[in-house]
Amino acid sequence: MRATLLVAMLVAGVIDDAAAQPAQVLIDPSDQYAMTLMSISRRTPAAELDALNARLAARKGAKIVSWETFAKMIGNEISQFVRRNDYPEVDLAAAMPQVLLRYEGTPIGITWNGGLAITGNDYRHAAKTFTAYNADPASDAARKVSDRRRDPVHPSNHLDALLYKR
């Protein structure tokens, strides 16, 4: 409902694009098997931002960047993080700003193999396959899941639902 109202207000010109965009984006690649992205609202209190920055200080490579910077650098961040892109047909650099705008404050993971992690199951799958890939890239456990319906991190499965595609 809130997202529908926001989109309607944007289309009607009641509010401008900049006001509707998140202020910043958290980028945390420190888990290696999934890079977490999360948009941060313009309404986030300074004390909350300070606490978030303090927690991120211990996480290698984690940072908070402006929304504008994120929009310019997301493709590079993804290509540097993804070790083996199992889903070249999906343009995550184009989709992630849409997802983060719609689901402000919700952590979204980009997996080591170019998938998306939303649920705990997704993150566990990414961790398991990443460990197997590091041990032996040719192993059965590290191989891409060939059936999209059985692949918990296939980005199209999540994007179709998150962005209401049918």
Q: What is the mean pLDDT of each run of 10 residues along the chain (166 residues)?
A: 41 49 93 96 90 90 95 95 95 96 95 97 96 92 85 94 77
- The H or E element spanning position 29 is none
Q: 63: buried, middle or exposed (CB in 10 Å: 19+, 13-18, 0-12)?
A: middle
Alpha helices in 13-119 (DSSP H): 17-20, 46-56, 67-81, 92-102
Q: How many CB atoms lie within 10 A of CB 58?
A: 8
What SS3 class is residue 89? coil
Phi/psi at 87 (nearest 5 deg)? Answer: -135, 60
Report the predicted TM-score, pTM, of the whole model to 2 decimal places: 0.82
